[in-house]
Chain A
Amino acid sequence: GESVGLHLPTLSVQEGDNSIINCAYSNSASDYFIWYKQESGKGPQFIIDIRSNMDKRQGQRVTVLLNKTVKHLSLQIAATQPGDSAVYFCAENEGGADGLTFGKGTHLIIQP
């Protein structure tokens, strides 16, 4: 069943603002988490990942935060640009053979 969820199906932000996309997970045994970006008409693409022994990981303009106490994952995008408009999925690796478990996705809309 669904063990990874997102708080908002749609998030609208002004261009240039920071975006925060949230995700809750329920399996405390998950040891690896990924954020994917899916642009319209394309397949999901890897953005950033984090292992369960870390709290924070930074990439270029993106930061992932992991709070294991409350089983919460977030993706922060700095200085949001029009090209950031997409659906963002969190996913967790519960260790099963059937791969990652995905959330339903948040559609990030960039307002000019």
Chain B
Amino acid sequence: DVKVTQSSRYLVKRTGEKVFLECVQDMDHENMFWYRQDPGLGLRLIYFSYDVKMKEKGDIPEGYSVSREKKERFSLILESASTNQTSMYLCASSWTGGTGELFFGEGSRLTVL
């Protein structure tokens, strides 16, 4: 069974803290994505990566960075968390040359106090 695993389901952090959200997929997918999901705004793309060490900005990259050192792992980093980054974060992956179907993790709910 294919799987995208997000390491933390729930996190509570303080303003100014550095936050790491980890995502691992076991499907050998080339493409990985980070979205945030907020009520009324739907899914918004933060960053994506189509290969190891490659990254591309999505629609809302400000305040975030990413790291892809290995094909199976894509990390989202909040250098200095702020309260407006309180959200549900979703990681997804897909196969290059496929239909474009995204496989999602269970999500990481981050609260910044």
CB distance from B100 to the nearest CB of A (A): 4
A selection of 16 A-B contacts at a CB cut-off of 8 Å is A9-B40, A34-B101, A43-B105, A43-B107, A44-B104, A46-B103, A91-B102, A97-B50, A98-B56, A98-B58, A99-B33, A99-B45, A99-B102, A100-B102, A103-B42, A105-B42
B48 touches A93 (CB 8 A): no
With a cutoff of 8 Å between Cβ atoms, the chain A residues found around residue B42 in the complex are 2, 89, 102-105
CB < 8 Å: which of B31, B43, B58, B109 contacts A89? B43
Q: How far is the CA of A98 from the CA of B107 in the complex (A)?
A: 19
Q: Is B90 interfacial (CB-CB < 8 Å)?
A: yes
With A43-B90, A97-B56 already in contact, 10 other A-B pairs whose C-beta atoms are closer than 8 Å:
A2-B42, A43-B105, A43-B107, A44-B43, A97-B48, A99-B31, A99-B102, A100-B100, A100-B101, A102-B43
Which positions 40-55 of chain B face chain A at CB distance < 8 Å?
Answer: 40-43, 45, 48, 50
CB < 8 Å: which of A9, A51, A97, A99 contacts B92? A99
Q: How many residues of B contact A (CB 8 A)?
A: 25
B50 touches A42 (CB 8 A): no
Q: Given the known A-B contacts A99-B31, A99-B94, A100-B102, are A42 and B48 also in contact in the complex, defined by CB atoms under 8 Å?
A: no
- Number of A-B residue pairs, CB cutoff 8 Å, is 59
With a cutoff of 8 Å between Cβ atoms, the chain A residues found around residue B58 in the complex are 98
State the B residues within 8 Å of A (CB).
4, 31, 33, 40-43, 45, 48, 50, 56, 58, 90, 92, 94, 99-107, 109
With a cutoff of 8 Å between Cβ atoms, the chain A residues found around residue B100 in the complex are 32, 34, 93, 99-100
B90 touches A98 (CB 8 A): no
Q: Is A45 interfacial (CB-CB < 8 Å)?
A: yes
With a cutoff of 8 Å between Cβ atoms, the chain B residues found around residue A43 in the complex are 4, 90, 104-107
